[in-house]
């Protein structure tokens, strides 16, 4: 007689494959997951509460620490919200610098995901390639902002620093290099049969489920819905560039992989056009009052971060500090579907499913 | 420590925090009253002016200043009077005196209004010019924000491009409900012209359901849900999007601050599950019929709800 019983298994919060301090309590019956309960909040720093006592410019460094793999988009969403409230005009050159840094950040973020996801699946070398290329982007961003991870680069009304001499040329030179490497990634991983067997049909959901669970970014696009805020609700100067919305129709981990890899290529396309159109001269900071006081009222803006739809809600009383600040953090929303995806799956697929969602715990916990 | 003791401790802590919050609120109100009293006299009372004595002193000082200014004005007028008199001999001595008097007058005027115009013929003209300059400077200082505001107020407001969409929403709502279930509806110009609908608390759930299921609305995507403590009431803000119609709507509901309770919409949009937990955790809003309402960020043993405006942090160590 074989005796079977359920077992409670605790994953994390300190575990490398959870990409941060994420805890998961799962119930297993043999090899099958029958229940899963995510436990979050280990990295909750109360950013929204802290922000209530800070002036808008002082909040920008805190946004760096939400999604620390793509801090530029976080910087931008706050500035964009304040600028929308105050109806500020942003100089051309600043807009281009913003786009260039944000798209570089998007590539860097997808590279980290690509490297660590394959590491999760047991392939060590892609990680090294990904971080080699990412390092070049980090160096570029370091040169313009003075930071490698937390840039604190954007300001309400523009950006803090102008591009140093020769920086645009460096970005220009990086684009063909990255293209070549991207093709190499395809040879190394994308066609690999072991990899394909590992990710195809894993963590699958339909378009309706994705919409129900408020998924966004690659998690939504992998179900075939062409939805990208850069294209559908253009902000900044994204309407000037031609690029495509990358989609897949499988709705599984393989689909998400394809979408992210294609997005690197599309970001390179945007970068190519942006450095081409980059204005020779001009201001990088618009005409902004010394003390930033958005008028009384409220705003909610959303933009496309590498992880999905990041939003910023501000309720202002016309003071220097926001009355209430709220970030719509894509990782927080995307992670909700995890228990649904895990139940009924084999234990071995746990990490493959979690990794494919692409979460950053700084963003999940706020 | 037994469970009971813990419970007791927690209760005490909550009591303490509440008392502290109450104290703070009272203090704030007191301050407000005081500043209201002095608002008519003083340009802006600073934080440290709290006692009446100080106020009295400042008032006296202001009066003294006004007196001095009046004296200076008088003197200046006299000086100017001598200036306008036709001078027969061009005595150097006299010219000097006039110059001094002029300078004095200018200084007085300057003290009175910072941007006095020295070219003015009479004191009156000077004052007018000064007032003008002051107004211009003030307008400049206020900057773009007020400019935008002023133009919005003075110009006849052009209807928002989103107005027809809001009207369409309202018509659909009217078709489905006999009574008026909305508190308010408007275009939020500051939020990229999003149509905003404020619904009465008891109809929040049914309207949300209509928003998702009605083919003309079809909001299948919940983009954002959060709560805000507006001190007199609590508010839930929901941002919905329809991929089918390519339209957004902001749905709001207000509730009592002391006992905030609202229906959960997690059964309509499963994506609302965690955001509602977050609102419960940080603001203390109760969501009825929520599948698993728990303190998602801070843990069940946390005392108080930090995003409430009267929150007092409680630390066992302190």
Query: Which of B145, B191, B229 has the CB atom closest to A300's CB atom?
Result: B191
Q: Quick check: is B135 in a domain?
A: no
- A84–B188 CB contact, under 8 Å: no
- The whole-number pLDDT of residue A78 equals 94
**pLDDT mean over A284-297:** 91
Higher pLDDT, B135 or B292: B292
What is the average pLDDT value for chain B, to the nearest integer? 74
- Whether residue B47 is predicted with pLDDT greater than 50 in this model: the reply is no
Is the predicted pLDDT of residue B73 greater than 90, yes or no? no
Pick from A42-51, B8-17, B164-173, B274-283: least confident = B8-17
Whether residue B89 is contained in a domain is answered as: yes
Shortest CB distance from B190 goes to which of A40, A297, A333? Answer: A297
A17: closest CA of chain B, how far (Å): 21
> Are B88 and B173 within one domain?
no
B250 in any annotated domain: yes
Does residue B146 form part of some domain?
A: no
Question: Quick check: is B62 in a domain?
Answer: yes
Q: Give the pLDDT confidence score for residue B95 in this predicted structure.
A: 59
- pLDDT score recorded for residue A30: 87
Residue B262 lies in a domain: yes
Q: What is the pLDDT of residue B81?
A: 47
Same domain? B99 vs B167: no
- A interface with B, Cβ–Cβ below 8 Å: 40-41, 44, 46, 48-49, 84-88, 208, 211-215, 225, 227, 232, 287, 289, 293-295, 297-302, 309, 311, 313, 315, 323-324, 326, 328, 332-333, 335-336, 365-366
Q: What residues in A contact B282, CB-CB < 8 Å?
A: 48-49
What pLDDT digit, counting tens, does each position of A2-59 carry? 777 889 999 878 877 778 889 999 999 988 999 999 999 999 999 999 999 999 999 9
Whether residue B70 is found in the same domain as residue B184: no
Per-residue pLDDT tens for A137-177?
999 999 999 999 999 999 999 999 999 999 999 999 999 99
pLDDT of residue B93: 59
Quote the pLDDT of residue B155.
54
Q: Which of B183, B193, B191, B250 is nearest to A295 (CA)?
A: B191
For residues B213 and B99, membership in a common domain is answered with no
B191 and A298: CB-CB below 8 Å? yes
Distance from CA of A311 to the nearest CA of B (A): 8
What is d(CA B311, CA B134) in angstroms, rounded to the nearest whole number? 43
Residues B167 and B81 occupy one common structural domain: no
pLDDT of residue A19: 80
User: How confident is the model over B261-270, as a mean pLDDT?
Assistant: 93
Tell me what pLDDT residue B86 has. Answer: 44
Task: Measure CB to CB from residue B145 to each of A86, A323, A328 and give the nearest one.
Answer: A86
- The reply to whether residue A214 touches residue B223, judged by beta carbons under 8 angstroms, is yes
Q: In B, which residues are within 8 Å of A289 by CB distance?
A: 143-145
Which chain B residue's Cα is nearest to A213? B271
Look at residue A317 in the predicted model and tell me its pLDDT: 92
Q: Is B203 found in the same domain as B93?
A: no
Of A41-50, A234-243, B125-134, B204-213, the range with the lowest mean pLDDT is B125-134
Least confident segment among A257-261, B1-5, B69-73, B89-93? B89-93
pLDDT (tens digit, 9 = 90+) per residue, A177-231? Answer: 999 999 999 888 888 889 999 999 999 999 999 999 999 999 999 999 999 999 9
pLDDT tens figures, A99-134: 999 999 999 999 999 999 999 898 899 999 999 999
Assess whether pLDDT exceeds 70 at residue B92.
Answer: no
Looking at B103, B120, B136, the residue that finishes a domain is: B103
- Give the per-residue pLDDT at B23: 79
Percent of chain A with pLDDT over 70: 100
DSSP annotation string for chain B: --HHHHHHHHHHHHHHHHHHHHHHHHHHHHHHHHHHHHHTTSS---TT--SHHHHHHHHHHHHHHHHHHHHHHHHHHHHHHHHHS--SS--HHHHHHHHHHHHHHHHHHHHHSTT--TT-SSHHHHHHHHHHHHHHHHHHHHHHHHHHHHHHHHSPPPPPTTHHHHHHHHHHHHHH-SS--EEEEEEEGGGTSEEEEEE-GGGHHHHHHHHHH-TTT---EEEEEEEEE-SS-EEEEEEEEETTTTEEEEEEEEE-SSS-EEE--TTT-GGGHHHHHHHHHHH--EEET-SS---TTT-TT--S-TTSTT-----TT-
**Mean pLDDT, range B21-31, rounded to an integer:** 74
CB contact under 8 A, B274 and A336: yes
- The pLDDT of residue B159: 80
How sure is the predictor about A279, in pLDDT bands with cuts at 50, 70 and 90? very high
In the prediction, which pLDDT does B72 show? 62
Which of the four pLDDT bands, split at 50, 70 and 90, describes residue B62?
A: low
CB contact under 8 A, B190 and A227: no
> Per-residue pLDDT for B119 more than 50?
no
pLDDT-derived band at B180, boundaries 50, 70, 90: confident
Q: Which of B103, B124, B145 is the last residue of a domain?
A: B103
User: Over 90: is that where the pLDDT of B49 sits?
Assistant: no
| pLDDT at A192 (0 to 100) | 86
Asked whether residue B183 falls in the same domain as residue B270, the answer is: yes
Q: At B145, is the pLDDT very low, low, confident or very high (cuts 50, 70, 90)?
A: very low
Together in a domain, B168 and B80: no
Residue B124 included in any domain: no
Contacts of A294 in chain B (CB under 8 A): 145
**Same-domain pairing of B167 and B283:** yes
Contact B224 A85 (CB under 8 A): no
pLDDT band per the 50, 70, 90 thresholds, residue B25 = confident
A56 or B57, greater pLDDT: A56
Contacts of B220 in chain A (CB under 8 A): 208, 211-212
Tell me the two tokens of residue A363.
């963003």
Mean pLDDT calculated for residue range B22-37: 69
pLDDT at B108: 57
One domain for residues B167 and B281: yes
What's the domain range around B28? 3-38+52-103
pLDDT averaged over chain A? 92
Q: Does the distance separating the beta carbons of A309 and B191 come in below 8 Å?
A: no
User: Other C-beta atoms within 10 Å of B261: how many?
Assistant: 12
Interface touch B222/A214, C-beta < 8 Å: yes
Nearest CB to A301; choose among B192, B230, B269? B192
Residue A136 has pLDDT above 80, yes or no: yes
Bridge partners of B225, per DSSP, are B238
Q: With 60 as the cut, is the pLDDT of residue B149 above it? A: no
Residue contact B271–A302, C-beta within 8 A: no
Residue A74, CB-side half-sphere exposure with 13 Å CA sphere: 30
pLDDT of amino acid B144: 46
Domain endpoint, select from B85, B103, B121: B103
CB-nearest partner of B223 from A41, A289, A302: A302
Whether B178 and B272 map to the same domain: the answer is yes
Q: Are residues B251 and B176 in the same domain?
A: yes
- Look at residue B83 in the predicted model and tell me its pLDDT: 45
What pLDDT does B44 receive? 45
In a domain, B28, yes or no: yes
CB-CB neighbors (< 8 A) of A214 in chain B: 221-223, 269, 271-272
pLDDT at B132 over 90: no
Q: What is the CATH number of the domain that holds B209?
A: 3.30.460.80
Nearest-CA distance B279 → chain A (Å): 11
DSSP A217-265: THHHHTTT----HHHHS--TTGGGS-------SS-SHHHHHHHHHHHHH
The count of structural domains within chain B is: 2
Residue of B nearest to A309 (CA): B223
């Amino acid at each position: 007689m074989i005796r079977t019983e359920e077992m409670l298994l605790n994953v994390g919060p300190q575990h490398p494959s959870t990409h941060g301090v994420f805890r998961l309590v799962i119930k297993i019956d043999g090899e099958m997951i029958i229940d899963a309960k995510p436990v979050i909040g280990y990295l909750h720093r109360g950013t929204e509460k802290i922000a209530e006592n800070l002036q808008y410019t002082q909040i920008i460094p805190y946004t760096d620490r939400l999604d620390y793999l793509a801090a530029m988009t976080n910087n931008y969403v706050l500035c964009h919200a304040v600028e929308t409230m105050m109806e500020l005009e942003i100089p051309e050159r600043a807009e281009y610098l913003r786009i260039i840094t944000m798209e570089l950040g998007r590539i860097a973020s997808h590279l980290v995901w690509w490297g660590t996801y394959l590491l999760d699946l047991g392939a060590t070398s892609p990680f090294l390639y990904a971080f080699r290329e990412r390092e070049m982007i980090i160096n570029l961003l370091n040169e313009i902002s003075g930071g490698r991870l937390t840039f604190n680069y954007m300001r309400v009304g523009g950006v803090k620093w102008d591009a140093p001499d020769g920086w645009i040329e460096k970005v220009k030179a990086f684009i063909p290099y990255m293209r070549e490497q991207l093709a190499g990634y395809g040879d190394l991983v994308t066609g690999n049969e072991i990899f394909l067997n590992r990710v195809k049909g894993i963590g699958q959901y339909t378009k309706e489920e994705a919409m129900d669970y408020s998924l966004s970014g690659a998690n939504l696009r992998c179900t075939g819905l062409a939805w990208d805020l850069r294209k559908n609700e253009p902000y900044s100067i994204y309407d000037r560039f031609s690029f495509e919305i990358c989609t897949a129709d499988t709705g599984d981990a393989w689909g998400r992989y394809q979408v992210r890899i294609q997005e690197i290529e599309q970001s390179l396309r945007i970068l190519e056009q942006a450095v081409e159109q980059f204005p020779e001269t001009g201001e990088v900071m618009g005409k902004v009052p010394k003390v930033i006081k958005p008028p009384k009222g409220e705003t909610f803006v959303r933009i496309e971060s590498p992880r999905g739809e990041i939003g910023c809600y501000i309720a202002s009383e016309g003071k220097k500090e926001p009355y209430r600040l709220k970030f719509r953090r894509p990782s927080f929303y995307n992670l909700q579907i995890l228990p649904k995806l895990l139940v009924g799956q084999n234990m071995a697929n746990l990490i493959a499913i979690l990794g494919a969602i692409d979460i950053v715990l700084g963003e999940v916990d706020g | 420590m037994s469970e009971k003791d813990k419970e007791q401790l927690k209760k005490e802590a909550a009591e303490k925090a509440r008392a502290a919050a109450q104290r703070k609120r009272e203090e704030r109100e007191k301050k407000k009253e005081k500043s209201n009293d002095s608002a008519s006299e003083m340009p802006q009372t600073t934080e440290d002016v709290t006692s009446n004595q100080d106020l009295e002193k400042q008032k006296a000082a202001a009066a003294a200043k006004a007196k001095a200014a009046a004296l200076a004005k008088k003197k200046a007028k006299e000086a100017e009077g001598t200036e306008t008199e036709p001078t027969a001999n061009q005595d150097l001595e006299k010219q000097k005196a006039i110059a001094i008097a002029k300078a004095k007058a200018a200084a007085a005027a300057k003290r009175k209004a910072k941007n006095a115009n020295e070219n003015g013929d009479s004191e009156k003209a000077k004052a007018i010019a000064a007032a003008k300059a002051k107004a211009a400077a003030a307008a400049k200082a206020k900057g773009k924000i007020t400019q935008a505001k002023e133009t919005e107020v003075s110009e006849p407001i052009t209807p928002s491009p989103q107005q027809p969409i809001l009207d369409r929403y309202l018509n659909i709502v009217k078709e489905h409900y006999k009574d008026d279930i909305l508190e308010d509806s408007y275009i939020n110009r500051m939020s990229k012209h999003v149509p905003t609908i404020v619904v009465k608390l008891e109809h929040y759930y049914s309207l949300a359901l209509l928003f998702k299921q009605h083919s003309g609305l079809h909001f299948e995507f919940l983009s954002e849900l959060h709560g805000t403590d507006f001190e007199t009431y609590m508010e839930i803000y929901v941002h919905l999007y329809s991929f089918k119609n390519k339209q957004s709507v902001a749905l709001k509901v207000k509730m009592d601050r002391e006992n905030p309770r609202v229906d959960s919409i997690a059964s309509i949009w499963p994506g609302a599950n965690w955001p509602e937990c977050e609102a419960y955790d940080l603001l203390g809003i109760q969501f009825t019929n929520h599948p698993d309402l728990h303190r998602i960020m801070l843990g069940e043993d946390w005392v108080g709800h930090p995003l409430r405006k009267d929150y007092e942090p409680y630390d066992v160590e302190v």
